[in-house]
Chains A and B, each alone.
Chain A
Amino acid sequence: MVKTPAAKPARKPSAKPEKAPAPAAGAKPAILPEEGSNHPRPRDPKRHEATADELMHFYKEMLLIRRFEERAGQLYGLGLIGGFCHLYIGQEAVAVGLQSALTVGKDSVITGYRDHGHMLAYGIDPKVIMAELTGRGAGISRGKGGSMHMFSTEHKFYGGHGIVGAQVPLGAGLAFGHKYNEDGGVCLAYFGDGAANQGQVYESFNMAALWKLPIIFVIENNGYAMGTKVSRSSAETEFYRRGDSFRIPGMQVNGMDVLEVRGAAEAALEYVRGGNGPLLMELKTYRYRGHSMSDPAKYRSREEVQNMKDNSDPIEAAKAELLKMGVAEDALKTIDKDIRKLVSEAADFAETSPEPDPSDLYTDVLVEQY
Chain B
Amino acid sequence: MAIELKMPALSPTMEEGTLAKWLVKEGDTVASGDILAEIETDKATMEFEAVDEGTITKILIAEGTDNVKVGAVIAMIAAEGEDASTPESAPAPAAKSEPEAEPEADKADSAKSEAPSENAKIVPETPKRAPVSDPAVPEGTKMVSTTVREALRDAMAEEMRRDERVFVMGEEVAEYQGAYKVTQGLLEEFGPRRVIDTPITEYGFAGIGAGAAMGGLRPVIEFMTFNFAMQAIDHIINSAAKTNYMSGGQMRCPVVFRGPNGAASRVGAQHSQNFGPWYASVPGLIVIAPYDAADAKGLLKAAIRTEDPVVFLENELVYGRSYDVPDLDDHVLPIGKARIMRAGSDVTIVSYSIGVAVALDAAEKLAGEGIEAEVIDLRTLRPLDTATVLESLKKTNRMVVVEEGWPVCSISSEIIAVAMEQGFDDLDAPVLRVTNEDVPLPYAANLEKLALVDSARVIKAVTKVCYKG
Q: In the complex, A141→B307 CA distance in Å?
A: 18
**Which of B87-95, B247-255, B409-417 has 4 or more CB atoms under 8 Å from chain A?**
B247-255
On whether the beta carbons of B207 and A204 are closer than 8 Å, the reply is yes
On whether the beta carbons of A365 and B239 are closer than 8 Å, the reply is no
Of all chain B residues, the one with the shortest Cβ separation from A162 is B238
Give the contacting residue for A151; candidates B196, B207, B250, B307; CB below 8 A. B250
On whether the beta carbons of A166 and B234 are closer than 8 Å, the reply is yes
On whether the beta carbons of A141 and B248 are closer than 8 Å, the reply is yes
On whether the beta carbons of A169 and B212 are closer than 8 Å, the reply is no
Q: Is B22 an interface residue (CB 8 A)?
A: no
**Which of A18-26, A171-179, A326-334 has 4 or more CB atoms under 8 Å from chain B?**
A171-179
Asked whether A368 and B201 contact (CB < 8 A) given A141-B246, A153-B251, A166-B207, the answer is no
On whether the beta carbons of A169 and B244 are closer than 8 Å, the reply is no
Query: Chain A contacts of B286 at CB under 8 A?
Result: 366, 370
Q: Is B27 an interface residue (CB 8 A)?
A: no
Query: Chain B contacts of A163 at CB under 8 A?
Result: 234, 238-239
**Which of B109-117, B119-127, B131-139, B214-222 has 4 or more CB atoms under 8 Å from chain A?**
B214-222
B218-235 interface code vs A (CB 8 A; 1 in, 0 out): 010000000000000011
Q: Is B278 an interface residue (CB 8 A)?
A: no
Q: How many residues of B contact A (CB 8 A)?
A: 48
Q: Is A79 an interface residue (CB 8 A)?
A: no
Give the contacting residue for B208; candidates A149, A159, A204, A368; CB below 8 A. A204
A148-192 interface code vs B (CB 8 A; 1 in, 0 out): 011111001011111100101111111011101100000000000
Q: Could you tell me which residues of chain B, from 235 to 267, have a CB within 8 Å of some CB in chain A?
A: 235, 238-239, 243-252, 254
Asked whether A366 and B308 contact (CB < 8 A) given A144-B246, A144-B248, the answer is yes
B189-206 interface code vs A (CB 8 A; 1 in, 0 out): 000010010110101111
B200 CB to nearest chain A CB (Å) = 9
Q: Could you tell me which residues of chain A, from 315 to 370, have a CB within 8 Å of some CB in chain B?
A: 363-368, 370
Q: A169-B211, A206-B201 are in contact. List 12 more A-B contacts (CB 8 A).
A: A141-B247, A144-B248, A152-B250, A153-B250, A158-B215, A166-B235, A169-B206, A170-B207, A174-B212, A180-B217, A206-B204, A367-B249
Q: Is B355 an interface residue (CB 8 A)?
A: no
Closest 9 CB pairs of A and B: A173-B211, A169-B207, A203-B204, A142-B248, A370-B336, A170-B211, A177-B215, A367-B307, A203-B201
B229 CB to nearest chain A CB (Å) = 14
Of all chain A residues, the one with the shortest Cβ separation from B283 is A365
Asked whether A200 and B210 contact (CB < 8 A) given A141-B247, A365-B283, the answer is no
Query: Chain B contacts of A176 at CB under 8 A?
Result: 208, 211-212, 215, 217
Contact sample, A vs B, 24 pairs, CB 8 Å cutoff: A145-B248, A151-B246, A151-B250, A160-B246, A163-B238, A166-B234, A169-B205, A169-B206, A169-B210, A170-B210, A173-B211, A174-B214, A176-B211, A180-B212, A200-B204, A203-B205, A207-B198, A207-B201, A367-B244, A367-B308, A368-B307, A368-B308, A370-B286, A370-B335
A205-236 interface code vs B (CB 8 A; 1 in, 0 out): 01100110000000000000000000000000
On whether the beta carbons of B211 and A144 are closer than 8 Å, the reply is no
On whether the beta carbons of B239 and A370 are closer than 8 Å, the reply is no
Q: Could you tell me which residues of chain A, from 110 to 137, have a CB within 8 Å of some CB in chain B?
A: 110
A361 CB to nearest chain B CB (Å) = 10
Query: Chain B contacts of A169 at CB under 8 A?
Result: 203-208, 210-211, 235
Which one of A110, A151, A203 has the highest number of Cβ atoms from chain B below 10 Å of its Cβ? A203
Q: Is B8 an interface residue (CB 8 A)?
A: no
Of all chain A residues, the one with the shortest Cβ separation from B237 is A163
Q: In the complex, A150→B246 CA distance in Å?
A: 8
On whether the beta carbons of A200 and B308 are closer than 8 Å, the reply is no
Query: Chain B contacts of A110 at CB under 8 A?
Result: 211
Q: Could you tell me which residues of chain B, from 151 to 189, have a CB within 8 Å of some CB in chain A?
A: 167
On whether the beta carbons of B215 and A172 are closer than 8 Å, the reply is no
Q: In the complex, A214→B212 CA distance in Å?
A: 13
Q: In the complex, A152→B383 CA distance in Å?
A: 29
Query: Chain B contacts of A252 at CB under 8 A?
Result: none
Asked whether A364 and B235 contact (CB < 8 A) given A158-B214, A172-B207, the answer is no
Band of interface residues on A: 35 or more
Of all chain A residues, the one with the shortest Cβ separation from B207 is A169
Query: Chain A contacts of B215 at CB under 8 A?
Result: 108, 156, 158, 173-174, 176-178
Q: Is A140 an interface residue (CB 8 A)?
A: yes
Q: Is A314 an interface residue (CB 8 A)?
A: no
On whether the beta carbons of B250 and A368 are closer than 8 Å, the reply is no
Query: Chain A contacts of B199 at CB under 8 A?
Result: 203, 206-207, 210
B254-289 interface code vs A (CB 8 A; 1 in, 0 out): 100000000000000000000000000001101000
Q: Could you tell me which residues of chain A, from 49 to 68, have a CB within 8 Å of some CB in chain B?
A: none
Query: Chain A contacts of B442 at CB under 8 A?
Result: none
Query: Chain B contacts of A153 at CB under 8 A?
Result: 250-251
Q: Is B209 an interface residue (CB 8 A)?
A: yes
Query: Chain A contacts of B209 at CB under 8 A?
Result: 173
Which one of B215, B216, B383 has the highest number of Cβ atoms from chain A below 10 Å of its Cβ? B215
Query: Chain A contacts of B201 at CB under 8 A?
Result: 203, 206-207
Q: In the complex, A14→B283 CA distance in Å?
A: 57
Give the contacting residue for B251; candidates A139, A158, A210, A370; CB below 8 A. A158
Give the contacting residue for B246; candidates A149, A178, A206; CB below 8 A. A149
On whether the beta carbons of A151 and B247 are closer than 8 Å, the reply is yes
B196 CB to nearest chain A CB (Å) = 8
Query: Chain B contacts of A149 at CB under 8 A?
Result: 246-247
Q: In the complex, A153→B238 CA distance in Å?
A: 18
On whether the beta carbons of A177 and B203 are closer than 8 Å, the reply is no
Q: Is A143 an interface residue (CB 8 A)?
A: yes
Q: Is B306 an interface residue (CB 8 A)?
A: yes
Q: Is B51 an interface residue (CB 8 A)?
A: no
Which one of A169, A180, A363 has the highest number of Cβ atoms from chain B below 10 Å of its Cβ? A169
Q: Is A36 an interface residue (CB 8 A)?
A: no
